[in-house]
């Protein structure tokens, strides 16, 4: 592998990994803020318990997002210096704003929230979680503005071989960003919804299996208590899980609706802005109107699917046109039509320029890797749809107040947590790999070679060696692998500990140590309500 | 609008100052926890002095990086790609450090806790060293060609400038952390930290002074020498007030020493942001490395609103957690027990 390929693998791995933590942070953050608001309003104990429990899991996950996020900001300069030079005038601004206007708020206010229980006035404490979680959304906006500009450069012109910002308003209201933003945020809520649903289902199942909760003749729940385990399995504990489950399932369903609607808008835009990406998503070699349900292809020796070998096994006529245009008859351009168009507009060969390294003068492959775009697109939709369906079914099954005493249903619910994560990941892989061979895709409304766009082949750092790239790829991938296991182990342990893992005071009396910091002469204010 | 790149050079210098001042003590506290010898209770006391604020401190680094990308793309691209290996190591260190802070208290066995301590200690040490090396190299030079790309292979950056800068920041973080602990704790830690600061302060600042002198001697700048004079006065003030037991004044004066020292370095380096050791004609300067006036204007508006906000709410968070901590304040560790039968 050459430096470019290694750099691409690294960017892909680190970004997809980072984006496992991000949607959960966004979705769960606002959920926790809402739960705490409910507690603030009603004073009901179960809302407090939910805030603490989900807040704890939120924090275990949040730190991983923070740690892996720094890599994202550094690696543009490290591995993609030519890209950074070319786009910096436009692309750097949203990144810097993200740090200045969002990351500072997130980190500072989260610190206040974690350590501020009992220290800050209740209302102020509640405000800190809202500030932190709203900042995660703001951060998503800025980063999506940056990414959308790579998908669809606007508000820019080429000056001395570099992209220069001419219209900040256009950059920050890029129509691509405006549809990608809700799509991503709803996607994050789908993740959070599934997370709440799966974990709550597990606890309700355990309560039933252990005979704490039973059902009456009509199938309605009879809530019980396990006196041996203090408040950790009391009736309020039941409230925590059933409420969390039903909230999670509802959030997941609403989120999917939002994802689908915004995704449709996004697809329509993408047919205009990057027709090749969408043709590749459909494995649509020839012009037509049909949506492919199953296409199969041969993998050529080079590893890229060649359009000659794609066989459309099953298509639904008209649907592709509907996705792109909202009607059933407009012919959508296929790959075989698009390639000559791209070649005519942007050239058949890479320029014989030093910055292209070994790719200088070679023929440009305008077709993204079709197996990835085709299956990525479909996996995204399938996984997203399945989790929404599962959420609907879960709402129906739990209408009488609890889950059935079924081991495999419980396992399925826990396993289902992964589905929306998978949908997020495959969606990103699809849209980023579908943009190839460009890092900054050309805006079709802006003309030809003299416009702002950039080839991936010319984006990489010119004198960074393949060995250096391999060093970082291996170190980061290895560490990420280890940390994923660590995070999963910790999440599992805290989940199995129930609410008490976030609220030690709930544990049965014989568990809580006597003495400790709360001596009689110790003012409560002086003791940390929370300590690492 | 010729002054815009200069303004942004100043902003970035200030962001680095903010980073070194704030994260300086929490990197140092990380080193003390992970690499020093303490009882478990004491380690947790140290960790909780930075607990609520360390993450906010680290964002200064991200903002310095992001602002450099936005305002000086060529500086960002050349510096970060030239230092590929060391920055990879810094990233790894920062990842381990962040995760260790959050996860160390969740460890069940003594062995895992020890592993997290090591991750925290080494992570803090390596991150401090790497940032110091990077800043020293951006002020003293890297082998860059006409395009701003590093030549000479993966380790072309490795020289004694890098080591000096690394040592300077590590030593500063260590002494700054002690001054911070003296201010933020009560009991034995306060006492011991006070003794160490009294003994080691001038020595610990020495490498920073050496780095500053290198840059100042290399460039002819009266203002830089004046600022450096201020740093020396602040250092003296920190020592004197420290001896007199005025811990707050001593801590702030030490911070001013750093700020003035770094300011002197950046002032002397101006207008070069990254010198080329191959040919001065290849130097990156505020003029040839910067973004357009349009982008800088946009960023200036955002910063004029954003920076004061950040300063305000970060100051507030320090105010909220202003009380000194004692070992008795640290609650017992809570061990998570599975409720699944």
Single pTM value for the model: 0.93
Mean per-residue pLDDT, A82-99: 96
Do A112 and B63 lie within an 8 Å CB cutoff? no
When scoring B44, B84, B92, B113 by the number of chain A Cβ atoms within 10 A, the one with the most, hence best to mutate, is B84
Q: How far is CA A409 from CA A201, A220, A413, in A?
A: 9, 18, 6
pLDDT score of A199 more than 60: yes
pLDDT score of A515 more than 50: no
Mean per-residue pLDDT, B110-138: 96
CA distance A232 to chain B (A): 8
Do B337 and A210 lie within an 8 Å CB cutoff? no
Select the residue of A85, A115, A206 nearest B340 (Cβ to Cβ). A206
Do A63 and B302 lie within an 8 Å CB cutoff? no
Do B149 and A463 lie within an 8 Å CB cutoff? yes
- Look at residues A181, A332, A243, A257 and name the one whose alpha carbon lies nearest to residue A51: A243
Q: Write the class of the CATH domain B3-319.
A: mainly alpha
Q: Which range among A23-37, A233-247, A301-315 shows the weakest confidence by mean pLDDT?
A: A301-315
Question: Which pLDDT does position A296 carry in this prediction?
Answer: 65
Please report the ipTM that was assigned to this predicted complex.
Answer: 0.94
**SS3 state at B63:** helix
Q: Is residue B161 very low, low, confident or very high in pLDDT (cuts 50, 70, 90)?
A: very high
- Write down the mean pLDDT value for chain A: 89
Q: In this structure, are residues A18 and A72 in contact, taking their beta carbons and an 8 Å threshold?
A: yes
Angle, to 10 degrees, between the axis of helix B247-269 and the axis of helix B3-35? 130
**Secondary structure element (H or E) that encloses residue A214, with its range:** strand A214-215
CA distance A48 to chain B (A): 19
Do A463 and B51 lie within an 8 Å CB cutoff? no
What's the token pair of residue A264? 């449709």
Query: Chain B residue closest to A477 (CA)?
Result: B92
Contact list, B88 vs chain A (CB under 8 Å): 78, 468, 471-472, 475-476
Mean per-residue pLDDT, B109-138: 95
Query: Chain A residue closest to B151 (CA)?
Result: A463
Query: Chain B residue closest to A502 (CA)?
Result: B336
Question: Which pLDDT does position A513 carry in this prediction?
Answer: 44
pLDDT score of A511 more than 50: no
CA dihedral over A321, A327, A328, A329, signed as positive or negative: negative
Do B149 and A119 lie within an 8 Å CB cutoff? no
Do B334 and A103 lie within an 8 Å CB cutoff? no
What's the token pair of residue A68? 């892996």
Cis peptide leading into residue A437 (ω within 30°): yes
Select the residue of A64, A81, A532 nearest B51 (Cβ to Cβ). A532
- Phi and psi of A235, rounded to 5°? -70, -30
Q: How far is CA B43 from CA A291, A526, B26, B50, in A?
A: 61, 19, 13, 12
Contact list, A501 vs chain B (CB under 8 Å): 336
Residue B91 Rama label (left phi>0; alpha psi -120 to 50; beta): alpha
CA distance B305 to chain A (A): 9
Query: Chain B residue closest to A484 (CA)?
Result: B99
Do A63 and B298 lie within an 8 Å CB cutoff? no
DSSP string, A54-111: HHHHHHHHHHHHHHHHHHHHHHHHHH-HHHHHHHHHHHHHHHHHIIIIIIHHHHHHHH
Question: Which pLDDT does position A297 carry in this prediction?
Answer: 60
pLDDT tens digit sequence for B66-113: 999 999 999 999 999 999 999 999 999 999 999 999 999 888 888 999
Domains of chain B: which residue ranges? 3-319
Most confident of A275-284, A307-316, A480-489, B330-339: A480-489
The residue behind tokens 């009607």 is A327
CA distance B248 to chain A (A): 21
A439: Cα within 13 Å, side-chain hemisphere: 24
Do B91 and A70 lie within an 8 Å CB cutoff? yes
A-B C-beta contacts closer than 8 Å: 284
């Amino acid at each position: 592998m050459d430096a470019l390929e290694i750099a691409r693998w690294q960017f892909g791995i680190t970004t997809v990994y980072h984006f496992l933590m991000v949607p959960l942070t966004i979705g769960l953050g606002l959920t926790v803020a809402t739960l705490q608001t409910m507690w603030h309003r009603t004073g009901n104990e179960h809302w407090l318990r939910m805030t603490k429990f989900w807040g704890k899991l939120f924090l275990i996950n949040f730190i991983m997002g923070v740690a892996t996020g720094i890599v994202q900001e550094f690696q543009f300069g490290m591995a993609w210096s030519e890209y950074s030079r070319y786009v910096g005038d436009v692309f750097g601004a949203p990144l810097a704003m993200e740090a200045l206007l969002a990351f500072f708020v997130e980190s500072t206010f989260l610190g206040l929230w974690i350590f501020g229980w009992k220290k800050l006035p209740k209302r102020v404490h509640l405000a800190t979680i809202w500030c932190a979680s709203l900042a995660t959304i703001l951060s998503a906006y800025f980063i999506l503005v940056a990414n959308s500009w790579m998908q669809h450069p606007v508000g820019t012109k080429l000056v001395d071989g570099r992209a220069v910002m001419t219209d900040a308003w256009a950059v920050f209201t890029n129509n691509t960003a405006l549809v990608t933003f809700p799509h991503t945020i709803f996607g994050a809520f789908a993740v959070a919804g599934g997370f709440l649903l799966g974990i709550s289902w597990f606890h309700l199942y355990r309560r039933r299996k252990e005979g704490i909760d039973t059902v009456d003749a009509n199938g309605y729940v009879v809530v019980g208590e396990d006196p041996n385990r203090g408040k950790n399995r009391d009736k309020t504990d039941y409230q925590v899980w059933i409420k969390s489950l039903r909230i999670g399932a509802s959030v997941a369903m609403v989120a999917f609706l939002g994802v689908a609607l915004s995704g449709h808008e996004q697809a329509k835009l993408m047919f205009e802005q990057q027709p090749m990406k969408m043709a590749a998503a459909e494995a649509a070699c020839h012009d037509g109107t049909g949506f492919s349900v199953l296409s199969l292809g041969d993998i050529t020796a080079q590893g890229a699917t060649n359009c000659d070998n794609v066989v459309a096994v099953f298509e639904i006529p008209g649907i592709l046109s509907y996705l792109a245009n909202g009607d059933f008859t407009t012919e959508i351009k296929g790959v075989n039509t698009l390639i000559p168009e791209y070649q005519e507009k942007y050239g058949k060969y890479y320029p014989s320029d030093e910055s292209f390294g070994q790719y200088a003068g070679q023929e440009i492959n305008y077709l993204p890797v079709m197996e990835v775009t085709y299956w990525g697109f479909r996996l995204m939709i399938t996984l997203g749809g399945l989790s929404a369906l599962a959420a609907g079914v879960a709402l129906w099954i739990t209408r009488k107040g609890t889950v059935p005493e079924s081991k495999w249903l419980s396992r399925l619910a826990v396993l289902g947590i992964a589905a929306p994560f998978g949908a997020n990941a495959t969606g990103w892989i699809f849209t980023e790999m579908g943009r190839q061979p460009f890092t900054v895709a050309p805006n079709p409304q802006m003309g030809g070679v003299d416009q702002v766009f950039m080839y991936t082949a010319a984006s990489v750092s010119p004198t960074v060696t393949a060995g250096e790239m391999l060093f970082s790829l291996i170190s980061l991938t290895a560490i990420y692998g280890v940390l994923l296991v660590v995070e999963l182990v910790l999440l599992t342990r805290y989940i199995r500990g129930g609410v008490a893992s976030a609220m030690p005071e709930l544990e049965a009396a014989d568990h809580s140590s006597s003495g400790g910091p709360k001596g009689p002469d110790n003012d409560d204010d002086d003791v940390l309500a929370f300590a690492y | 609008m010729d002054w815009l790149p200069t303004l942004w050079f100043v902003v970035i210098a200030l962001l680095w100052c903010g980073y070194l001042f704030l994260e300086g003590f929490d990197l140092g506290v990380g080193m003390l926890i992970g690499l020093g010898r303490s009882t478990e209770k004491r380690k947790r006391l140290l960790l909780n002095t930075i607990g609520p604020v360390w993450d906010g401190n680290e964002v200064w680094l991200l903002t310095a990086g992001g602002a450099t990308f936005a305002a000086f793309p060529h500086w960002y691209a050349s510096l970060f790609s030239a230092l590929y290996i060391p920055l990879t190591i810094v990233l790894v260190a920062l990842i381990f450090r962040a995760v260790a802070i959050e996860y160390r208290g969740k460890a069940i066995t003594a062995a895992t806790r020890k592993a997290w301590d090591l991750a925290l200690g080494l992570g803090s040490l390596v991150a401090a060293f790497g940032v110091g090396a990077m800043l020293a190299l951006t002020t003293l030079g890297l082998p860059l060609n006409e395009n701003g790309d590093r030549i000479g292979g993966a380790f072309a950056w490795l020289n004694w400038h890098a080591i000096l800068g690394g040592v300077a920041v590590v030593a500063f973080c260590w002494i700054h952390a002690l001054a911070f602990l003296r201010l933020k704790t009560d009991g034995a830690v306060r006492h011991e930290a006070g003794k160490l600061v009294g003994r080691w302060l001038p020595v610990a600042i020495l490498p920073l002074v050496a780095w500053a002198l290198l840059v100042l001697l290399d460039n002819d700048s009266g203002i830089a020498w004046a600022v450096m004079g201020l740093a020396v006065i602040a250092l003296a003030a920190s020592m004197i007030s420290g001896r007199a037991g005025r811990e707050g004044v001593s801590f702030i004066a030490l911070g001013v020493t750093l700020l003035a020292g770094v300011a002197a370095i950046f002032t002397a380096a101006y207008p070069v942001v990254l010198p080329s050791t191959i040919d001065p004609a290849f130097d990156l300067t505020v003029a040839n490395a910067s973004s357009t006036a349009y982008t800088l204007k946009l960023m200036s508006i955002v910063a004029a609103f954003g920076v004061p906000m950040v300063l305000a709410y970060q100051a507030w968070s320090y105010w909220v957690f202003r009380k000194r901590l004692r070992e008795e304040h640290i609650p017992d560790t809570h061990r998570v027990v599975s409720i699944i039968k």
